[in-house]
């Protein structure tokens, strides 16, 4: 199968992709597969499954990734993080991915169990960062590797120039493309690309898009990204906070506007954080001009 790197190099169209997370129970599995079935007709260029920091979540990630890779025609990317794992743990997951026919991996340092507020701690037999993880993945087989990028700055330091240098390091280690964390200002994406290009790094950077469907998500997103949601967006949502349907409409409109701005700015692709649902993502994709 043609790799994501090949598609980006061809440049015939901006890539569209969807991200899912591993379900916690049978009900969650049904919701996930319903979302997959509804989104598959949109012919995404690839899909991915997030990776948990504890054992049971990791097992669910591998199982869902295997199910998508072997039970559909979707180009499937597995995630992998350094958090709380030894090198042996990481290589075991990579071997499982390879056995399932998954030859794309998103390499992320990851958060500690407990979330982004918990200080990072390297496993005694593990890796220190995502650059080392890229090197490990490339040493284990013919994997196409993606990495994370941070338009609003990595929350560990909020040093934009350092973020650009780290992204260049990951590219030099063998990463073929990057996907951003969620963000809400197209200018932040453009400035990230400019910083990386100024270092002589040509890595394609795909924009990550997450629709807001509930006002409560605003605080959650700010915690996840380490950056506040812009006042202009918060005020639009707060104006309709008592009407769940209106919140979904406004949240979808905000994400649609950002997505179109990114495409107009030359973004090589958009990666939708679906939250295992399909309605908002389908609405956004339907309205975009590519």
Q: Is 59 labeled as catalytic in the residue annotation?
A: no
Catalytically annotated residue among 19, 121, 191, 261: 19
Report strand pairing: 15-20 vs 269-273.
Answer: parallel
Question: Strand (E) positions, 226-279?
Answer: 269-273
Contact present, 167 and 201 (Cβ < 8 Å): yes
* Integer Cα distance of 49 and 60 in angstroms: 10
3-state class (DSSP) for residue 142:
coil
Phi then psi dihedrals of residue 80, to 5 deg: -150, 135
3-state class (DSSP) for residue 48:
strand
The closest alpha carbon to 20, from 274, 206, 210, belongs to 274
Q: Name the helix (H) or strand (E) containing 64.
A: helix 55-71
Residues labelled as active-site residues:
19
């Amino acid at each position: 199968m043609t790799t994501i790197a090949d598609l980006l190099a061809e440049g015939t169209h901006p890539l569209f992709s969807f991200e899912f997370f591993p379900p916690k129970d049978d009900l969650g599995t049904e919701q996930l597969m319903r979302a997959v079935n509804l989104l598959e007709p949109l012919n995404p260029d690839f899909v991915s499954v997030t990776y948990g920091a504890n054992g049971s979540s990791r097992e669910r990630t591998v199982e869902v990734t295997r199910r998508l890779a072997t039970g559909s025609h979707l180009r499937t990317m597995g995630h992998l993080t350094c958090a709380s794992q030894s090198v042996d743990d990481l290589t075991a997951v990579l071997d499982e991915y390879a056995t399932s026919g998954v030859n794309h991996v998103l390499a992320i340092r990851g958060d500690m169990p407990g979330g982004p507020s918990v200080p990072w701690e390297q496993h005694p037999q593990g890796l220190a960062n995502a650059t080392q993880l890229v090197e490990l993945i490339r040493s284990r087989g013919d994997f196409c590797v993606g990495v994370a990028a941070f338009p609003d700055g990595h929350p560990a330091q909020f040093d934009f120039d350092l973020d650009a240098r780290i992204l260049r390091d990951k590219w030099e280690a063998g990463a073929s493309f990057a996907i951003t964390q969620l963000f809400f200002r197209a200018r932040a994406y453009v400035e990230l690309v400019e910083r990386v290009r100024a270092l002589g790094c040509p890595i394609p950077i795909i924009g990550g898009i997450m629709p807001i469907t509930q006002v409560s998500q605003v605080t959650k997103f700010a915690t996840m990204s380490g950056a506040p949601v812009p006042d202009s967006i918060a005020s639009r949502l707060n104006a309709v906070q008592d009407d769940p349907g209106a919140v979904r409409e406004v949240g979808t409109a905000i994400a649609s506007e950002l997505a179109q701005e990114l495409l107009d700015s030359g973004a090589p692709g958009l990666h939708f954080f679906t939250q295992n649902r399909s309605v908002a993502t389908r609405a956004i994709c339907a309205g975009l001009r590519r």
